Structures are given as C-alpha cells and as structure tokens.
Amino acid sequence: MDDSRLQRRIVGSSLLREGYEVVEAASGAEALEICRTGPPDLILSDLVMPGMDGIAFCQAFRALPGERYGYFILLTSKSDKDELVRGLEGGADDFLSKPVNPHELRARISAGERILRMQRELTEKNHVISETLQELQQLYDSLDHDLIEAKKLQQSLVRDRFKDFGSGAVSLELRSSGHVGGDLVGQYRIGETHVGFYAIDVSGHGISSALMTARLAGYLSSSSAEHNVALCDLPDGSRGYLPPHEVIGAMNRIVLEEMETELYFTMLIAVVDLRTGLTQMAQAGHPHPVILRADGRIEQDGPGGLPVGLIEGADFLAFETRLGVGDRLVILSDGVTECPDAQDRMLGEEGLARLLSSLAGHNVETMLEALIWRLAEFAGSDHFPDDVSGILFEFRGAVP
C-alpha cells in the first residue's frame, strides 16, 4: 500500500518478476477492504499516508478476525527510532527504508516467508492438538460416565447399610477415594443365632481393584448362601458356618489357584453369636478390630497375619472375644488410621481411640458417618487419599 502510484509500480514490478501475486491499494481504507475479502500473506505499506497512516492500518489489519497470519513490512524514509518503536508496537514485523533496494526487499520477504511457514506449521499442529484434545475430552466424558455407573454398582454391593437383629444392630460404611475403590464390607446371616461380618481392602484404588471386590463379594454373598464359601450345610439340614480362619484360608486358595491376578487384599472376618455375644475372628493383614466396651474402655488387638493372595498354604490364626451388653465391635480399613493431617501426620491407633471415645454417645446408625466427618476435620478435607470403610456392631443382649 502506497499513495504514490510510481512507488507502487516500482515495488510491484519487482515482486511480479520474482513470481509473486501483487494487489495494489492507494489508501489504508482500500487496503483494509482488500484484506477483509482475501487475507494476504505479506503486506508492504508506506508509513506516511494521508488519512490512515501505515501504523494505524497495521493495527486495523491485526484486529481483523481469523487465525491466518500476515507478515507486515513498513516502508519508511524516516530514521526516527520512536517511529520504529511505534510501528513494532502497532504490530509491524519489519521495516524497509525508501527508496526500496530490490535485493534488500527480496531478503526481507524471504525472512517473512520463513516466519509464515513456521507459523502455518504451528497452526496446523495446533489444529491437530485441538482435535486430539476434543477426542480425549469425549473419551474422558465417556469414561467418567462409566466410572459413575461403576461407583453405583460397587456401592450396591453393600446392601443393608443398617440392620437390626433384635439382640444387636450393625451399620456399614463404604467411601471410595475416587470413583471406585478396593474396599468392601458386608454381612451374611447364619441361621437365627449367628451373623458374620467381613471387611476387605484390595491393593490399589482403581478399576482393577474394584473389579476384584466385585468378584470377592460373590464368594461371601448374603443373598446367595449356597455360593457363600463361609457357609455349609449341617447333617440335620440346618445351615452352619466355617470358622473365620478357615474362610480366609479358602479365599487364599481361590485367589492363588483360580484368579490370574497380581492383586492381594487384607481381610477381617467376625462371626457373632447373637445369644451370648461370643465373637470369633480371623485377621489377614487388616487393621486390628476395636472393641468399645460399655464402660468406656477401648481394646485394639489381633494377630495381624499375612494378606490374602500372597503365599500358598499360609496359616491364618483364630482369636475371639466376648461382647457384653452395650459393647461395640468396630472394624475399619487402614484408610482411617493412615489418614494424614495437613502436616502429613497419620491418625494412628491412638488418634483413632480418642476419636471413637468422643463419638461414644452416637447411636449405631449414625456413628460411622460421624466418624467420617471427624476424620475430614482431622485431614482438613473430605477427599481422603485412601478408601475408607467400616463395620460397627453393637451387642444388646439375647432377646427372650
């Protein structure tokens, strides 16, 4: 763009000989209209023009919509550095002194072509990245939807979150650190006199751990007693049960012989006699059970043991306690005792004891939920780094 027809012809002829397509404009307004209809690759504009000068035209050109970049060279006979600064701040890429030297013009245009080539390659790559990100977002949305549905299905494995047996009552809690997790709690009824409880914590937190819990739930299903490895039929036709340590041993064999997996899990099983409060237990690497006595005493003890699915033929020890009227049995995953505070200090067994003592006044149905609220206060967030699950059983004494 130049208001001098002679100057336009000189520069235009030089460019035509080099094989460029040239469009001339005598004013900024005319040039701007040409740019709107067909964005040019390169613009040569005189700095001093009547009406809209070269800098104003450059600013208007940069403000046009579209992502295609045009290389802008200002032609000037001035050597004022302030004018050069204004031009660069206005969006110009380069300057060329008048009268224009054809060799210098060709060199400046070659530099502009290199920049345009790199800019277009970058634009193409940005398009590819944008399309890839869009595809990834669609995939993420699909996975997120599937994980939400998986969470609903996993939560449905924990049926009867609260159940009253007359001589006792139990409450169950399951909260995953992500959409799905590796914790599982449940119960199974053994005739009219006993009830079994189990807590499982599969290694990891993701989809594979959640699938493992779903499979394990089938082996201890309360709704399908004939498939429950913890139950057996007695000679008189009634339903009996295997001692908890034998159940864990059976689960260990199943994992090592039937499941092709590198996952393992901790486990605790308790069987309570609803008439006497006698509680038989077995522990496989799971945190110790906690007994909250009616008089306020707290007991945390157990043999520990190896996790399930690590060693073939591992022995799991049996132990027992007797619940008195008003006593409570609490079984929690390590997501509680290993929960960190803001200074990365874990709650630990002593912290758990203090927390449970402060909740002694809660009823069975609400105590575990209150425990999670207190744990969130301790951690400073309700987004725990590990899954949190628990079982709370209160013995109320035999019902006549």
CATH label of the domain that carries residue 302: 3.60.40.10
Model pLDDT, residue 232: 85
CA distances 260 to 65, 257, 389, Å, are 59, 8, 26
pTM value? 0.69
Please, are residues 309 and 250 in contact by the beta-carbon 8 Å criterion?
A: no
212 and 339 together in one domain:
yes
Do 119 and 239 share a domain, yes or no? Answer: no
pLDDT of 317: 94
Name residues whose C-beta falls within 8 Å of residue 379's C-beta, 6 or more positions apart in sequence. Answer: 339, 340, 341, 342
Rg of the chain taking only CA atoms, in angstroms: 38
Provide the CA 103 distance to its chain's centre, in angstroms.
59
Sign of CA dihedral 158, 297, 288, 195: negative
Q: So what's the pLDDT on residue 400?
A: 60
Task: Identify the domain boundary among 124, 146, 181.
Answer: 124
* Pair of tokens at residue 371: 């425990």
Q: Residue 60: which CATH number?
A: 3.40.50.2300
Residues in the chain: 400
Residue 324 lies inside a defined structural domain of this protein: yes
| pLDDT value of position 233 | 81
What letters, b where the CB count within 10 A reaches 16 and e where it falls short, cover 54-72?
bbebbebbeeeeeeebbbb
Residue 140 maps to a domain: no
In a domain, 267, yes or no: yes
Rounded CA-CA distance 82/104 in Å is 23
- 226 in the same domain as 119: no
Same domain, yes or no: 82 and 171: no
Determine the pLDDT at residue 399.
66
Do 307 and 200 share a structural domain? yes
Closest CA to 167 of 321, 277, 271: 277
Give the span between the Cα atoms of 8 and 18, in whole angstroms.
15
On whether both 117 and 164 belong to a single domain, the answer is no
Final residue of a structural domain among 105, 124, 143: 124
| Any domain includes 9 | yes
Same domain, 9 and 109: yes
198 and 266: one domain?
yes
Burial letters 347-370, b for 16+ CB under 10 A, else e:
beeebbbebbeebeebebbebbee
Identify whether 371 is part of a domain.
yes
Note whether 169 and 231 are same-domain residues: yes
Is 315 found in the same domain as 179?
yes
Q: Which residues, given as ranges, of the chain have pLDDT below 50?
A: none
Q: How many domains does the chain have?
A: 2
Asked if residues 268 and 199 have their Cβ atoms less than 8 Å apart, the reply is yes
| Same domain membership, residue 378 and residue 324 | yes
Residue 272 has a pLDDT of 97
Q: Which pLDDT belongs to residue 159?
A: 75
pLDDT at 287: 95
Domain encompassing residue 83: 5-124
Q: Which of 211, 228, 217, 215 is nearest to 158 (CA)?
A: 217
DSSP at 220: T
Q: Would you say residue 152 lies in a domain?
A: no
Token pair belonging to 327: 């006593």
Q: What is the DSSP string of 334-396?
A: HHHHT-B-TTS-B-HHHHHHHHHHHTTTS-HHHHHHHHHHHHHHHHTSS--SS-EEEEEEEE-
- CA–CA dist 386, 346 (Å, integer): 12
Residue at 131 is within a domain: no
Q: Is residue 213 part of a domain?
A: yes
Q: Are residues 188 and 263 in the same domain?
A: yes
